[in-house]
């Protein structure tokens, strides 16, 4: 009984082996008969060494060197508006007049009282010389004159406040104030901004503080003026680091002779630090970033067929790991993994793997500009 069972078990094992071998040979035949994948179309570029100026880049906000919303210190009815919206004015220019008739009349009354006090003092001083009045009377007259002159000065200051002057030179904003309108103290009349030069305020990480100093060159770019670079210098570095962000505030003064940059706009600010360095560079689209490392596909001549030994003269790719460094616009520096002169795939990587044959078509290339501009412009 036991011998018969062993024979049957051996037969089953032999049958399974025969069936498995037949299935394996069938799969191998199908794989050999399967058509080889065709070459994939990609774009490629040659790795080049370029000199880069190390820069610290940040997004900043433009602020006026001097900027204020002009208002009145006193209440009154607007008699005249002596400016136009958007006008450039000089420091001291008259902007607005409030009705000051009653204040001027009061001033004249106080001036008359002061003149009378002065006459009384002069007369009493003459009487004192002949001992017609006492010294106490002259002293009282002197104090009275000083009091009256103080009231005159106070009223004159009130009258002066009824005329609004530009505190500094700059460009006026848009006003809605009209003659006949009543203004309360503190009501906004118009904004005045001095915008040449103009400040760019931006923040940089605390680890970069050691690379910053007053006087360093700053370049500012605005998407409102693509291609234009506004040059300036660092004018101030905050002595305090923001404890919530660990960033330090930097202020740069930028020339704005055509008054193109306006307060409130944002600008991309870059600060030149250190000396120029040479890097191997690629378009950022050439690098595939993965959790296990960054990779690129290097284009190489096809290897010989292991069966026939024939070489078809085509191209294939090999995936290699790289270490990336600084970025500049569309470009990225390659610190390790490539050599100058190698050809690297810049688009179409998703359909590639090691050994995939490729055809290079550079009729449409990805952007590779160190200072890219928005495409809609």
Residue pLDDT, tens place only, 155-168: 999 999 999 999 99
Structural domain includes residue 87: no
Mean pLDDT within 230-238: 94
CATH code of residue 349: 2.40.420.20
Q: Are residues 267 and 290 in the same domain?
A: no
CATH code of residue 60: 2.40.30.170
The parent domain of residue 252 ranges over 55-65+190-272
Structural domain includes residue 2: no
Q: Which of the pair, 231 or 276, is modelled with greater confidence?
A: 231
Q: Over 50: is that where the pLDDT of 152 sits?
A: yes
In angstroms, rounded to a whole number, what is the distance separating the alpha carbons of residues 182 and 74? Answer: 11
Last residue of a domain, one of 219, 249, 272: 272
Mind listing the pLDDT tens digit for each residue in 301-323? Answer: 887 655 544 445 588 899 999 99
Q: Which of the pair, 316 or 372, is modelled with greater confidence?
A: 316
Judged by average pLDDT, the poorest of 11-20, 69-78, 248-257 is 11-20
Structural domain includes residue 3: no
Mean pLDDT within 12-28: 75
Report the number of distinct structural domains present in the chain: 3
Q: Which pLDDT does position 14 carry in this prediction?
A: 77
Q: Are residues 60 and 194 in the same domain?
A: yes
Q: Are residues 267 and 304 in the same domain?
A: no
Q: Are residues 257 and 319 in the same domain?
A: no
Q: Look at the alpha carbons of 175, 180, 182, 185 in this order and tell me if their dihedral is positive or negative.
A: positive
Residue ranges in the chain assigned as alpha helix (H) = 2-33, 101-129, 135-161
Mind listing the pLDDT tens digit for each residue in 189-205? Answer: 999 999 999 999 999 99
Judged by average pLDDT, the poorest of 18-32, 77-91, 286-300 is 18-32
What residues contact 150, with CB distance under 8 A and at least 6 apart? Answer: none
Q: Are residues 229 and 285 in the same domain?
A: no
What residues contact 211, with CB distance under 8 A and at least 6 apart? Answer: 56, 273, 274
What residues contact 103, with CB distance under 8 A and at least 6 apart? Answer: 155, 158, 159, 162
Q: Which of the pair, 309 or 100, is modelled with greater confidence?
A: 100
Q: Are residues 350 and 204 in the same domain?
A: no
Structural domain includes residue 377: no
Last residue of a domain, one of 255, 272, 289: 272
Q: Are 45 and 344 in contact (CB under 8 A)?
A: yes
Structural domain includes residue 175: no
Structural domain includes residue 370: no
Q: Are residues 282 and 335 in the same domain?
A: yes
Last residue of a domain, one of 118, 141, 161: 161
Q: Which pLDDT does position 65 carry in this prediction?
A: 92
What residues contact 163, with CB distance under 8 A and at least 6 apart? Answer: 94, 96, 97, 98, 100
Q: Over 70: is that where the pLDDT of 34 sits?
A: no
Q: Which pLDDT does position 312 carry in this prediction?
A: 55
Q: Over 80: is that where the pLDDT of 106 sits?
A: yes
> At 377, is the pLDDT very low, low, confident or very high (cuts 50, 70, 90)?
very low
Q: Is 311 helix (H, G, I), strand (E, B) or coil?
A: coil
Q: Are residues 288 and 253 in the same domain?
A: no
Q: Are residues 294 and 268 in the same domain?
A: no
> At 107, is the pLDDT very low, low, confident or very high (cuts 50, 70, 90)?
very high
Arithmetic mean of pLDDT over the chain: 87
Structural domain includes residue 297: yes
Provide the pairing of β-strand 217-221 with 357-360.
Answer: unpaired
Q: Over 80: is that where the pLDDT of 10 sits?
A: no
Q: How many helices and strands in the chain, by DSSP H and E? A: 3, 21
Mean pLDDT within 89-108: 93
Q: Which pLDDT does position 166 carry in this prediction?
A: 94
């Amino acid at each position: 009984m036991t011998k018969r069972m062993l024979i049957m078990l051996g037969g089953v094992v032999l049958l399974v082996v025969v069936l498995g071998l037949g299935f394996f040979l069938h799969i191998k035949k199908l794989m050999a008969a399967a058509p080889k994948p065709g070459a994939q179309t990609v774009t490629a570029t040659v790795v080049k060494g370029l000199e880069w100026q190390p820069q610290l880049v940040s997004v900043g906000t433009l602020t006026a060197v001097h900027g204020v919303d002009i208002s009145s210190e006193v209440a009154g009815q607007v008699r005249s508006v002596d400016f136009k919206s958007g006008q450039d004015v000089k420091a001291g220019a008259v902007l607005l007049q409030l009705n000051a008739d009653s204040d001027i009349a009061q001033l004249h009354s106080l001036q008359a009282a002061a003149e009378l006090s002065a006459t009384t003092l002069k007369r009493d001083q003459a009487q004192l010389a002949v001992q017609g009045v006492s010294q106490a009377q002259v002293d009282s007259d002197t104090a009275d004159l000083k009091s009256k002159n103080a009231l005159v000065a106070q009223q004159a200051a009130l009258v002066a406040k009824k005329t609004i002057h530009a505190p500094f030179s700059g460009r006026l904003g848009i006003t809605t104030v009209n003659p006949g309108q009543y203004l309360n103290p503190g009501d906004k009349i118009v904004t005045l901004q001095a915008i040449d030069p103009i400040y760019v305020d931006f923040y940089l990480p605390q680890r970069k503080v050691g690379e910053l100093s007053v006087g360093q060159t700053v370049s500012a770019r605005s998407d409102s003026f693509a291609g234009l670079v506004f040059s300036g210098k660092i004018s101030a570095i905050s002595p305090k680091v923001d404890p919530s962000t660990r960033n330090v505030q930097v202020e740069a003064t930028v020339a704005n002779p055509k008054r193109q940059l306006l307060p409130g706009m944002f600008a991309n600010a870059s600060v030149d630090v250190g000396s120029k360095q040479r890097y191997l560079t690629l378009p950022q689209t050439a690098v595939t970033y993965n959790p296990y490392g960054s990779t690129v596909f290097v284009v190489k001549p096809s290897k010989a067929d292991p069966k026939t030994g024939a070489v078809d003269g085509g191209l294939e790719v090999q995936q290699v790991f790289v270490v990336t460094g600084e970025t500049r616009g569309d470009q990225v520096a390659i610190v390790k993994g490539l050599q100058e002169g190698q050809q690297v795939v810049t688009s179409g990587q998703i359909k590639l793997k090691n050994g995939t044959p490729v055809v290079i078509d550079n009729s449409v290339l990805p952007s590779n500009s160190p200072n890219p501009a928005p495409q809609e412009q």
